[in-house]
């Protein structure tokens, strides 16, 4: 299967990108693994004609927004994001109408339609930088309430919160973390900003998925409790064979991130199926929001 995928990638002039939560065999096969920000930047820089995006739907959409001339394939079109589905264009338009005029910061975990109605995008890696880059003192941050509350705690801006959340990160409780800390008293605890405020209050560092990889590599500590989706454990253990990593909770499994298998990658390349394309009417305003973010982060 791996040989077949390698041959197909070459034949179709394709690059395979994978999010850090993907199953181990997908991460190991990919040309590049990363967090949402790194993958968006890479999608815009590649010379390949085809991008096979191993992640969820909004990520493939973002690649298509940035690279409209490339064919973007999502090997499983049913890989969605429950948090992205907690907001749509209509509900955002209604919320905007109910507030005084203010910028809208939208987490990339959102549909293209929602990005198109936003001032600027952000990811878990750059939310503070994005919020601080805006001249306005007041803004709406969608759709993740935990990310919005985290940003509020780190800036002096007034942030209106959209009541969405990641069902996987929001599951992690302070009790789970306290138990993990009691079981592993020498471990540092790193948490994703999609976690609840009381969980983040217990963290030694708050990081995006790739931020966690950098944090573990740079630290002199040997043990870490990882407060994010458990797919990251594969990458973090592989990059740090001499260190020990524990899941903050075995409950943190995103089934959408686990849908893609190697046979799906081979099939979509063979048939050029699973294409994700954003209509120009939505793509142009969505691109403006994504590009503003990428410019800030480069």
Residues that bind ligand 13P (CB under 6 A): 20, 35-36, 81, 109, 123-125, 166, 192, 194, 208-209
The Cα–Cα gap between 297 and 124 comes to 12
Question: CB-based burial of residue 72 (10 Å sphere; 0-12 exposed, 13-18 middle, 19+ buried)?
Answer: buried
Q: Which is nearer to ligand SF4, 141 or 254 (CB)?
A: 254
Residue 81 binding ligand SF4, by CB under 6 A: yes
Partner whose binding site includes residue 256, from ligand SF4, ligand 13P, none (CB under 5 to 8 Å by kind): ligand SF4
Q: Name which position in 18, 63, 125, 166 contacts ligand SF4 (CB under 6 A).
A: 166
Partner whose binding site includes residue 82, from ligand 13P, ligand SF4, none (CB under 5 to 8 Å by kind): ligand SF4
Residue 56 binding ligand SF4, by CB under 6 A: yes
Spatial contact of 26 and 265, defined as CB atoms under 8 Å apart:
yes
Minimum distance of ligand 13P from residue 123's CB (angstroms): 5
Minimum distance of ligand SF4 from residue 36's CB (angstroms): 9
Minimum distance of ligand SF4 from residue 53's CB (angstroms): 13
Spatial contact of 42 and 296, defined as CB atoms under 8 Å apart:
no
Alpha helices in the chain (DSSP H): 2-11, 24-29, 36-45, 57-66, 89-98, 112-116, 127-133, 145-154, 174-183, 197-200, 209-218, 232-239, 262-271, 280-297
Q: Which is nearer to ligand SF4, 167 or 279 (CB)?
A: 167
Q: Which stretch binds ligand SF4 (CB under 6 A): 78-86, 197-205, 235-243, 287-295?
A: 78-86
Residue 258 binding ligand SF4, by CB under 6 A: no
Spatial contact of 88 and 114, defined as CB atoms under 8 Å apart:
yes
Residue 190 forms beta bridges with which residues?
205, 226
Interface residue list for ligand SF4 (CB under 6 A): 56, 81-83, 109, 166-168, 229, 254, 256-257
């Amino acid at each position: 299967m791996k040989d077949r995928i390698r041959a197909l990638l070459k034949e179709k002039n394709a690059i395979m990108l994978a999010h850090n939560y993907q199953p181990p065999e997908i991460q190991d096969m990919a040309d590049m693994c990363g967090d949402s920000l790194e993958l968006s930047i890479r999608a815009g820089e590649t010379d390949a004609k085809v991008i096979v995006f191993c992640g969820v739907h909004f990520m493939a959409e973002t690649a298509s927004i940035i690279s409209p001339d490339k064919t973007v394939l999502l090997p499983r079109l049913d890989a969605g994001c429950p948090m992205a589905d907690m907001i749509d264009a209509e509900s955002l338009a209604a919320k905007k109408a109910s507030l005084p005029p203010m910028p809208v910061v939208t987490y990339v975990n959102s549909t293209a339609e929602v990005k198109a109605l936003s001032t600027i995008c952000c990811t878990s890696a750059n939310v503070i930088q994005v919020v601080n880059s805006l001249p306005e003192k007041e803004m709406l941050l969608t759709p993740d309430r935990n990310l919005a509350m985290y940003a509020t705690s780190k800036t002096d801006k007034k942030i209106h919160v959209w009541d969405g959340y990641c069902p996987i990160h929001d599951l992690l409780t302070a009790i789970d973390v306290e138990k993990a800390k009691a079981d592993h008293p020498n471990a540092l605890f790193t948490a994703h900003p999609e976690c609840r405020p009381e969980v983040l209050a217990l963290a030694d560092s708050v990081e995006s998925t790739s931020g966690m990889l950098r944090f573990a590599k740079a630290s002199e500590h040997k043990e870490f409790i990882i407060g994010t989706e458990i797919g990251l454990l594969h990458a973090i253990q592989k990059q740090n064979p001499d260190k020990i990593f524990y899941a903050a909770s075995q409950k943190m499994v995103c089934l959408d991130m686990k849908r893609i298998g190697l046979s799906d990658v081979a099939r979509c390349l063979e048939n050029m199926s699973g294409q994700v394309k954003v209509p120009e009417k939505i793509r142009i305003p969505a691109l403006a929001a994504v590009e503003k973010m990428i410019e800030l982060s480069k």
